């Protein structure tokens, strides 16, 4: 899948992150911190990175994951990365 054919839907992103974190999507609120609030850790961050890179055709770095610590932050990051192509 390439960036040109990829659209970023907030609810699909929420569902993907919830699946990685093994949570109900309703628990993944826009501003909940992946580690502090949702119990994520470094292994889950790596899994999230792989899932999102595959789903959206983007490259996420460790720094990206460190900065995008909530659904809202990850959504904005993935939007920016898909727009950059």
Number of domains in the chain: 1
Span 53-66, pLDDT tens digits: 999 999 999 999 99
Angstrom distance (rounded) from CA 31 to CA 51 = 20
Encoding tokens for residue 74?
């990850």
- The CA radius of gyration of the chain, in Å to the nearest whole number, is 12
- Which pLDDT band, with edges at 50, 70 and 90, does 6 fall under? low
The pTM (predicted TM-score) of the whole model is 0.87
Range of the domain at 44: 3-84
Mention every residue, 6+ apart, whose C-beta is less than 8 A from residue 37: none
CATH number of the CATH domain containing 55: 1.10.1200.10
């Amino acid at each position: 899948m390439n960036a040109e054919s990829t659209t970023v839907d907030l609810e699909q992103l929420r569902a993907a992150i919830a699946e990685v974190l093994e949570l109900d999507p309703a628990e993944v609120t826009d501003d909940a911190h992946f580690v502090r609030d949702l119990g994520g850790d470094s292994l889950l961050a790596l899994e999230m990175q792989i899932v999102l890179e595959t789903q959206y055709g983007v490259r996420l770095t460790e720094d990206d994951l460190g900065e995008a610590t909530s659904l809202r932050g990850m959504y904005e990051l993935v939007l920016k990365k898909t727009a950059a192509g």
